[in-house]
């Protein structure tokens, strides 16, 4: 079967660091995407992990452990504009998103 789990909501303050976890179970796994979706807008690509380990891209980093079916997105130096939903999606020739994690950043 296929499953995908993320916390529904996370809150943090400006300047802080926040980690958003994603656990998945799927067949035919090619990699894992993270997308950001602001309310009323389309998802936008953040990162893609194929191999185990941490991929850093500016303030955002993404980690993958294929053996554990686990990933996280790390956001540093949070800004108000980072308030959005964050979607993880295993790449199995199509994107299957979970309900995403809504991040609220407070001043």
Partner 1 sequence: EPEVTQTPSHQVTQMGQEVILRCVPISNHLYFYWYRQILGQKVEFLVSFYNNEISEKSEIFDDQFSVERPDGSNFTLKIRSTKLEDSAMYFCASSEPDPPMEQYFGPGTRLTVT
Is residue 58 a contact residue for partner 1 (CB under 8 A)?
no
Among 27, 45, 57, 67, binds partner 1 (CB under 8 A): 45
Which class for 5: exposed (0-12), middle (13-18), buried (19 or more C-beta within 10 A)?
A: middle
> What's the min distance (Å) between Cβ of 107 and partner 1?
26
- How far is Cα 26 from Cα 3, in angstroms, rounded to an integer? 7
Among 21, 23, 48, 76, binds partner 1 (CB under 8 A): 48
Task: Using the structure block, give the residue that is written with the tokens 């993320």.
Answer: 6
Taking a C-beta distance cutoff of 8 angstroms, is the pair 55, 47 a contact? yes
Is residue 17 a contact residue for partner 1 (CB under 8 A)?
no
**Could you list the residues that contact partner 1 (CB under 8 A)?**
30-31, 33, 37, 41-45, 48, 50, 87, 91, 93-100
């Amino acid at each position: 079967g296929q499953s995908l789990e993320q916390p529904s909501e996370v809150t943090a303050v400006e300047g802080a660091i926040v980690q958003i976890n994603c656990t998945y179970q799927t067949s035919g796994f090619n990699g894992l995407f993270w997308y950001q979706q602001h309310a009323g807008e389309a998802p936008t690509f953040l990162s893609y992990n194929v191999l185990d380990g941490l991929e850093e891209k500016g303030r955002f980093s993404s980690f993958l452990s294929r053996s554990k079916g686990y990933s996280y997105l790390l956001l540093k130096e949070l800004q108000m504009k980072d308030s959005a939903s964050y979607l993880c999606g295993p790449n199995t020739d199509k994107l299957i998103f979970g309900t995403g994690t809504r991040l609220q950043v407070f001043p």
